[in-house]
Structure 1
Amino acid sequence: MSADVKRHVAIDLGASSGRVALGTVRHGRLSVEVLHRFQNGGVPVQGGLYWDVLGLWREILHGLRLAAQHGHIDSVGVDSWAVDYALLDEHDLLMDGVHHYRDPRTDGVMQHCLNVLPRSAVYEATGIQFLPFNTAYQLVAHERQAPGILSRACQVLMVPDLLHFWLSGRRVSELTNASTTQLYDPRQDTWSAPVLHAFGLPAALFPDVVPAGTVLGPVTPAIAQETGLAGTVVIAPATHDTASAVAAVPARGSGWAYLSSGTWSLVGIETLSPVVTPQALRHNLTNEAGVNGTTRLLKNVMGLWIVQECRRAWGNPDFAQLYADAEKVPGTGPLIDPDDPRFLHAGLDMPERIQAFCAQTGQAVPTTPAELVRCVLDSLALRSAEVIRQLEEVTGRAITVLHVVGGGAQLRFLNQLLADVTGCTVIAGPVEATLIGNLLVQAEASGSIPPGSLRDVVLASEVLDTFEPRSAVSPQRLAFFAALGSTPVPS
């Protein structure tokens, strides 16, 4: 293989699965080969919910050994979901375990914290959406659950930062993930001392923050021996998986938004600086760091998680058939507020929770899997349209194109629904946006591609699909859906 060919490895960890992938850069194009796939998920322990981080590490090492068989690997980097963390002691050993963000230990904690420091002050300092599982509230919950644990800990590392430490021996916090914690001040470029103090969190726990694309150093000798990756450099990509996905959005010009569609739906735009205004606070928009100095102004919306939990309750029937059956159901049926707290936690009663919501809001109750899935998809599309209108209001931008990336980009029916309810041209792809963004940030940092060329490489490498609006949603249905999100529903 010629000297101008560079190989990079992306470790991508999602809520339900992980991948180790090889990216090869040749003549301005990127090819991606997934070398190893493995399962992920929560592990219940004594009423709590944890991630099996040691099991993930075992699978990562196996994937890296497979990568080494392809020849010299120039770099490796990790991305994952946000907000979850590990505590390390003075010997760099794990304390407790890595809690899952859906662990009910945070129930009620956010409101307690906001009684100490008002919502407006927290938002002014961090610009982050209020979600009950944000790292800030998890850490407070951790101290409540195990008094004194934070004073005994020496370091807090987000999940990908922990894995980078195990790979390279260097402890840092990569910016895109640090920015999701609701403890980081994006305008001061530092951890927020007022928020840390108000919530009783020791500032010494938090490591230096580095931007995406930072070279952390070579893999440790132990990792080189274990995997065969001698001479491979560890590069922190955009470690928050959404940030990696947005880096791979194949957009040109202005007037576009993105939807990273999967277990979560992340709907947003890219800005040059944080938008921390009363309007943004009113709409509970979040300002998370992106690559190359950008900000991702977005909202986290409950995504296909609701369908995934329904499917689990039904004995895991074929996804394709579920979506095909849902497409046959008329689009005039019941709707839910997908962000209602009842849909956050796992459980085989997810179909019953949807039915209860519909009954309590005076709607026809969906009974078949097809009706339930159609209800969820219609609701997700409408919530995405609502967020796009909020982004337009807050920024003054007109959004005419919606880029859908991630696993949901494969769902043609959902993409058409999105085009219809938003009135936007929907461009679907790439499906593997997170892997691609991870790999291209590494490639840019190591000189495999020119600076600022990430999206040019995506456009040169990927085949995209386009959906135009075909039919509009009635104003009455839009108004009814908007009311569902503003009216408390009895639990």
Structure 2
Amino acid sequence: MKTLNLLGFDFGASSGRAMLGTFDGEKIEISEVHRFSNDPVELCGRFVWDVPRLFYEMKQALLKISRMNVKVDAIGIDTWGVDFGMLDKAGRLLGLPVHYRDARTTGMPEKVAEVVPTVELFGRTGIANNIFNTLYQLYAMKEEGDPILEMADSMLFMPDLLAYLLTGKKGTEYTIASTSQMLNPYTRDWDKELLEKLGIPTNMLGEVKLPGEVRGTLLPQIAKECGVDEIPVIAVGGHDTASAVAAVPAQSDDFAYISSGTWSLLGAEIKEPLCEEGVMKASYTNEGAVDGSIRLLKNIMGLWIIQECKREWDRRSDAVGFAELVEMAMKAPAFKAMIDVDDVCFLAPGDMPARIQEYCKKTGQEVPQGRGEISRVIYESLALKYRWAIEALETDMLKKPVKVLHIVGGGSKNVLLNRFTAEAIKRPVITGPGEGTVIGNLLIQAKALGAIEDIPQLRKVVEASFPTDTYLPESDGKAWDEAYARYLELFVK
């Protein structure tokens, strides 16, 4: 086969990048073309995404491709979940997409539950009851009387919106739509009856399609401005976690995964959704996978907490890198205190070190002091949360053992957290590739172009192309067992 040059745009909650993948049919090599920060802004009382800036950065990447004199065969885009933009009948963007951390959804889960009980809502959608879900964002707009909701002719999730800005073609990709709490997980289509019951318009919703669709080609004016061809834009796993999970280099089905970054998305792959009340109570969710199956997973607050701590420490004094924070954590005492990383007090930006200290004080624990102790509390607490989530997954949902944990994404490079995780869960932890999301994005493009047959073959390409590291439990586990017992006593009622 001819070598494919593929361009993947991967937008995270705090940064974005464009990566070039060169695929020869057996292995893929990747290189960074462009990297940029993703800086949401407070504007007119709302916390919003700076979409014009993101569009500008995509064009900067295309300009760099032009200068590299590379002929690109396709483009794919993935982003975080739940957030969206709205277009009017003329195809114009109505305002800027609101950030999932904006306060407008405060109280919305309770208001929705008055109309549709929470257990019924989970049974219908299979999606965990997170305050930032698209459903609650739309309900907040309805409650506020937001005119955009009435003016909207189309609602596009972030990867579909960015693809629209490049191509002028609208579309709704399955994996990103599945994060909304508005999809029937059995039919893989909108639950319009649910939305009508809540008074949310449905005319703005597009047909849901699986990844692999050629959405369109670059608009002629964009291609000309950037000096590139009218390149096809392919709908990949638009939800970054879906693309990342596709790139897990597993060759059996007895694994769990974590896509590790700002969030830790921990779960397993299943054929059909699990929408029982016990799954809901464990805060697991049924999101779409790139092949149309289900990613049963739990959203765990990941490296967000340490990122916010670092931001606050850097503001107060000399900046230190994450590697230095890991070194400080290694020297700090073990199990001085612990936190439930998913407590709502850690969700919003702010003075995270102070929040951790206050939380430990409030829960009757010793209060950690300094960067090293606080960092260690975060990493140990994450590992303990992973253990709880895996035990719930295998015992209450899969009804079979999880034999190995694969960690992909940027967080897979954190050696201390990987080591803590292996000790806490008492199973092998295999890490890598660190660029799992964009690799999945690129290889799903290759699959859409006919160069890869299915997901098992895609995973063999990943395994052949990138090294992994394996972490095994090294201690007798007693200290971790004692810490876990304390964790359960403190946080699992």
TM-score by length of 2: 0.96
Asked whether 1:470 is paired with 2:474, we answer yes
Asked whether 1:437 is paired with 2:433, we answer no
RMSD: 1.3
Asked whether 1:446 is paired with 2:449, we answer yes
Tell me how far apart the structure 1 counterparts of residues 295 and 328 of structure 2 sit (CA, whole Å). Answer: 35
- Report deviation, 1:438: 0.2
What is the identity, as a one-letter code, of the residue corresponding to 2:393? L
- Report deviation, 1:405: 0.6
Tell me how far apart the structure 1 counterparts of residues 278 and 103 of structure 2 sit (CA, whole Å). Answer: 30
Pairs within 5 Å for 1:76-475: 76-315=75-314, 316-347=319-350, 349-393=351-395, 394-452=397-455, 453-471=457-475, 472=477, 473-475=479-481
Any idea what SS the aligned residue of 2:473 has? coil
Structure 2 unmatched runs, 5+: none
* Structure 1 pair 34–399 and aligned structure 2 pair: CA distance change class (3 A): same
Query: Which moved further from structure 2: 354-363 or 451-460?
Result: 451-460
Cα-to-partner distance string for 1:101-144 (whole Å, 9 max, x where unaligned): 11111111111111210011111111001100000001111233
* Structure 1 pair 58–146 and aligned structure 2 pair: CA distance change class (3 A): farther
Q: Aligned to 1:58, which of 41, 48, 56?
A: 56
Any idea what SS the aligned residue of 2:324 has? helix
Are the counterparts in 2 of residues 143 and 149 from structure 1 also a CA contact under 8 Å?
no
What is the identity, as a one-letter code, of the residue corresponding to 2:359? F
Any idea what SS the aligned residue of 2:179 has? coil
Query: Which moved further from structure 2: 212-221 or 222-231?
Result: 222-231
Are the counterparts in 2 of residues 167 and 223 from structure 1 also a CA contact under 8 Å?
yes
Any idea what SS the aligned residue of 2:203 has? helix
Tell me how far apart the structure 2 counterparts of residues 229 and 482 of structure 1 sit (CA, whole Å). Answer: 56
Tell me how far apart the structure 1 counterparts of residues 119 and 453 of structure 2 sit (CA, whole Å). Answer: 41
Cα-to-partner distance string for 1:298-346 (whole Å, 9 max, x where unaligned): 0000011000000011014211100111011222210001111000000
Q: Aligned to 2:11, which of 9, 13, 19?
A: 13
Structure 1 unmatched runs, 5+: none
Are the counterparts in 2 of residues 219 and 229 from structure 1 also a CA contact under 8 Å?
no
Tell me how far apart the structure 2 counterparts of residues 146 and 87 of structure 1 sit (CA, whole Å). Answer: 15
What is the identity, as a one-letter code, of the residue corresponding to 1:390? A
Are the counterparts in 2 of residues 178 and 184 from structure 1 also a CA contact under 8 Å?
yes
Query: Which moved further from structure 2: 147-156 or 133-142?
Result: 147-156
Tell me how far apart the structure 1 counterparts of residues 114 and 97 of structure 2 sit (CA, whole Å). Answer: 27
Tell me how far apart the structure 1 counterparts of residues 399 and 39 of structure 2 sit (CA, whole Å). Answer: 40
* Structure 1 pair 70–290 and aligned structure 2 pair: CA distance change class (3 A): farther
- Report deviation, 1:172: 1.1
Tell me how far apart the structure 1 counterparts of residues 421 and 115 of structure 2 sit (CA, whole Å). Answer: 40
What is the identity, as a one-letter code, of the residue corresponding to 1:242? T
- Report deviation, 1:230: 1.6
Tell me how far apart the structure 1 counterparts of residues 121 and 491 of structure 2 sit (CA, whole Å). Answer: 23
Are the counterparts in 2 of residues 9 and 67 from structure 1 also a CA contact under 8 Å?
no
Query: Which moved further from structure 2: 446-455 or 320-329?
Result: 446-455
Are the counterparts in 1 of residues 7 and 442 from structure 2 also a CA contact under 8 Å?
yes
Tell me how far apart the structure 2 counterparts of residues 221 and 41 of structure 1 sit (CA, whole Å). Answer: 29
Tell me how far apart the structure 1 counterparts of residues 65 and 72 of structure 2 sit (CA, whole Å). Answer: 7
Tell me how far apart the structure 2 counterparts of residues 244 and 264 of structure 1 sit (CA, whole Å). Answer: 15
Query: Which moved further from structure 2: 472-481 or 305-314?
Result: 472-481
Tell me how far apart the structure 2 counterparts of residues 7 and 160 of structure 1 sit (CA, whole Å). Answer: 20
Are the counterparts in 2 of residues 74 and 231 from structure 1 also a CA contact under 8 Å?
no
Cα-to-partner distance string for 1:153-179 (whole Å, 9 max, x where unaligned): 111110110111122222111000000
* Structure 1 pair 418–395 and aligned structure 2 pair: CA distance change class (3 A): same
Are the counterparts in 2 of residues 168 and 219 from structure 1 also a CA contact under 8 Å?
yes
- Report deviation, 1:482: 2.0
- Report deviation, 1:262: 0.9
Tell me how far apart the structure 2 counterparts of residues 400 and 331 of structure 1 sit (CA, whole Å). Answer: 27
Are the counterparts in 1 of residues 174 and 208 from structure 2 also a CA contact under 8 Å?
yes
What is the identity, as a one-letter code, of the residue corresponding to 1:170? K
- Report deviation, 1:199: 2.1
* Structure 1 pair 202–329 and aligned structure 2 pair: CA distance change class (3 A): same
Any idea what SS the aligned residue of 1:86 has? strand
Tell me how far apart the structure 2 counterparts of residues 51 and 143 of structure 1 sit (CA, whole Å). Answer: 20
Are the counterparts in 2 of residues 400 and 423 from structure 1 also a CA contact under 8 Å?
no
Q: Aligned to 2:39, which of 25, 33, 41?
A: 41
Tell me how far apart the structure 1 counterparts of residues 178 and 204 of structure 2 sit (CA, whole Å). Answer: 16
Alignment match, 2:486: 480
* Structure 1 pair 164–474 and aligned structure 2 pair: CA distance change class (3 A): closer
Identity across aligned pairs (percent)?
41
Query: Which moved further from structure 2: 439-448 or 66-75?
Result: 66-75
Are the counterparts in 1 of residues 335 and 380 from structure 2 also a CA contact under 8 Å?
no
Tell me how far apart the structure 2 counterparts of residues 103 and 147 of structure 1 sit (CA, whole Å). Answer: 15
* Structure 1 pair 479–445 and aligned structure 2 pair: CA distance change class (3 A): same
TM-score by length of 1: 0.96
Tell me how far apart the structure 1 counterparts of residues 489 and 232 of structure 2 sit (CA, whole Å). Answer: 52
Are the counterparts in 1 of residues 174 and 188 from structure 2 also a CA contact under 8 Å?
no
* Structure 1 pair 449–231 and aligned structure 2 pair: CA distance change class (3 A): farther
What is the identity, as a one-letter code, of the residue corresponding to 1:48? R
What is the identity, as a one-letter code, of the residue corresponding to 2:381? S
What is the identity, as a one-letter code, of the residue corresponding to 2:471? F
- Report deviation, 1:375: 0.4
Cα-to-partner distance string for 1:329-381 (whole Å, 9 max, x where unaligned): 2222100011110000001x111110011001110000111000000111111
Tell me how far apart the structure 1 counterparts of residues 488 and 214 of structure 2 sit (CA, whole Å). Answer: 46
Tell me how far apart the structure 1 counterparts of residues 196 and 120 of structure 2 sit (CA, whole Å). Answer: 13
Are the counterparts in 2 of residues 14 and 81 from structure 1 also a CA contact under 8 Å?
yes
- Report deviation, 1:231: 4.2
- Report deviation, 1:228: 2.8
- Report deviation, 1:27: 4.0
Tell me how far apart the structure 1 counterparts of residues 272 and 333 of structure 2 sit (CA, whole Å). Answer: 42
Any idea what SS the aligned residue of 2:487 has? helix
* Structure 1 pair 173–483 and aligned structure 2 pair: CA distance change class (3 A): farther
- Report deviation, 1:205: 1.1
What is the identity, as a one-letter code, of the residue corresponding to 1:346? P
Tell me how far apart the structure 1 counterparts of residues 367 and 252 of structure 2 sit (CA, whole Å). Answer: 44
Cα-to-partner distance string for 1:180-233 (whole Å, 9 max, x where unaligned): 000011102210123212221111111111111111132222222122332421
Tell me how far apart the structure 2 counterparts of residues 112 and 145 of structure 1 sit (CA, whole Å). Answer: 13
